[in-house]
Amino acid sequence: MNIHQINLNQLKGFETPFYYYDLDLLNETLSKAKSAADKRGFHVHYALKANFNDRILGLIQEKGFAADCVSGNEVQKSIEAGFSASQITFAGVGKSDKEIVLALKHQIFAFNVESIQELLVINELAKENGVKAQVSLRINPNVDAHTHHYITTGLDENKFGVPNSELEKAAAVLRGCEHLELLGLHFHVGSQITDINVFKSLCVKVNEWKNWFEERGTAIKVLNVGGGLGVDYYEPDAHPFADFEAYFEVFDKFLERTAQQEVHFELGRALVAQSGSLVSKVLYTKSGVKKNFLILDAGMTELMRPALYQAYHKIEKLGTSENDKSLNYDVVGPICESSDCFGKEVSLPESERGDFIAIRTAGAYGEVMASRYNLREEIRYVYSDQI
Ligand code: LLP
């Protein structure tokens, strides 16, 4: 059920703030993404980091997605949620020995390896544990994702991936590592990418690097092009789905590959963002000297994106009528930080204590990034089929 279809009296039964998850929308999003990928023979790993809420993860697993993890706990969680270990990728620049051993014991599909030193450590730990690890080399393609600098990952100045200048050495090291098997190459240029040309540029780089390895006699079975597909934070109801068709089509068209070479994706945000809203109540209204403030019972502790990345989220009053007079508000939370602000000069129908406010497109990197700062309560969530 869309957040606007909910009867406010029903909402009153739940303590705010909470994440509201529209499971119908999630289902539809997953179906669209899966069929667009399936018809091109593509494999999609869901990036757990975007949201690992149990029901959400369960639905994603049931739909047949694989998993992409960035910690030992995510690997463990995805296995508990029913993902098969042979569908799990494990990325990250700082995998600890404990995390590597856990993933080795489960015999996951692939470690996305980010440095030569990491290759050597995984090889050593695989040897100690009497197993062979499948690895993909993460290459930094130096493609500008044209997104917020905090979520750009594929530029030379970012910490991710094996620097291009070291690839020759990495290939040699791999040849000497008996407990590693090179599956393929891994790339990820950033997140919330809305310019489809960025993915075209990525394809060009992937083709170049694949050829580079093949020319040196290294077989590449898997091309993992990461995630990053963006969503519309401004008009979530007009554009509830990312354009999965256009996205996968770019790779289908521009990625050079043989019939045996698999193409893998790691989508997070585009699969879950629009299905979640943070629902909050107005605690106080305040007219400052220059500003009107709406003080909510949700803050940066529940949704950190505006404070951390100056991210825009659409803010709406629930249950408004056409005739309400509008005012400009700074919509803020209760946390003792000036950055605890969801939006400045937001035009909203005049609001009062007790009104419900929804902060939209919060299904990705919302609940998972919540914190207990100020000893806030544990995050709450409500699923659409509970209402
Ligand atoms: N693969 C790798 C290697 C990644 O680093 C990421 C995201 C993904 C896949 C999934 O990307 P997506 O499809 O969700 O764009 N907290 C930030 C986003 C951080 C993204 C980190 N990496 C935010 O709230 O915008």
Query: With contact defined as beta carbons under 8 Å apart, do 305 and 366 qualify?
Result: yes
> In the prediction, which pLDDT does 156 show?
62
Do 265 and 306 reside in the same domain of the chain? no
Atom in ligand 1 nearest the alpha carbon of residue 267:
13
d(CA 333, CA 357): 12
- CA–CA gap between residue 112 and residue 135 (Å, rounded): 6
Same domain, 30 and 56: yes
- The last residue of one of the domains, among 252, 273, 294, is 273
Angstrom distance (rounded) from CA 373 to CA 352: 27
Tokens 């220059």 correspond to what residue? Answer: 290
**Alpha-carbon dihedral of residues 171, 176, 181, 187, nearest 10 degrees?**
-20
Name the stretches of the chain with pLDDT < 50: none
Whether residue 259 sits in one domain with residue 116? yes
Q: Does one domain contain both 31 and 141?
A: yes
Verify that 39 and 171 share a domain, yes or no: yes
Query: Which of 216, 247, 273 is the last residue before a domain boundary?
Result: 273
Q: Are 151 and 261 members of one domain?
A: yes
Tell me how many degrees the CA angle 353-355-12 measures, rounded to the nearest 5. 115
- 44: CA distance to ligand 1 center in Å? 14
Question: Strands, DSSP E only, in the chain?
Answer: 18-21, 43-47, 66-69, 88-90, 110-113, 133-138, 180-186, 222-224, 262-267, 276-287, 292-296, 315-317, 326-332, 341-349, 356-359, 381-383
Largest CA distance in the chain: 73
Q: How many CB atoms lie within 10 A of CB 373?
A: 14
> Are residue 97 and residue 219 in the same domain, yes or no?
yes
pLDDT at 321: 66
Structural domain total, the chain: 2
The pair of structure tokens assigned to 238 is: 């007009």
Q: Provide the CATH number for the domain around residue 283.
A: 2.40.37.10
Residue 220, CA atoms < 13 Å, CB-side half-sphere: 26
Same domain, residue pair 246 and 304 = no
Domain's final residue, options 273, 299, 331: 273
Please give all residues whose beta carbon lies within 6 A of any atom in ligand 1, as ranges. 47, 50, 68, 91, 151, 153, 188, 191-192, 226-229, 266-270, 305, 309, 365
Q: Which two tokens stand for residue 249?
A: 């089509």
The confidence score (pLDDT) of residue 42 equals: 98
pLDDT of residue 141: 85
| CA geometry: angle 374, 69, 240, nearest 5 deg | 75
Question: Which atom of ligand 1 lies closest to the CA of 270?
Answer: 13
Q: Ligand 1: which of 93, 95, 264, 269 to mutate, judged by most atoms within 8 Å of the beta carbon?
A: 269
Q: Judge if 288 and 327 occupy the same domain.
A: yes
Residue nearest to atom 1 of ligand 1 (CA): 226
SS3 21: strand
Q: Which token pair is 33?
A: 């993404």
Say what angle helices 196-215 and 244-254 make with each other, to 10 degrees: 30
User: Could you tell me the CATH number of the domain that includes residue 51?
Assistant: 3.20.20.10
The boundaries of the domain holding residue 167 are: 23-273
CB 201 within 8 A of CB 241: no
Amino acid of residue 158: N
Contacts of 268 (CB under 8 A, 6+ apart): 46, 47, 48, 49, 50, 51, 68, 191, 227, 364, 365
Instruction: Tell whether 336 and 269 lie within a shared domain.
Output: no
Centroid of ligand 1 to alpha carbon of 382 (angstroms): 24
User: Cα(49) to centroid of ligand 1, in Å?
Assistant: 7
168 plus 73 within the same structural domain: yes
Q: What is the pLDDT of residue 155?
A: 58
Is 221 in the same domain as 364?
Answer: no
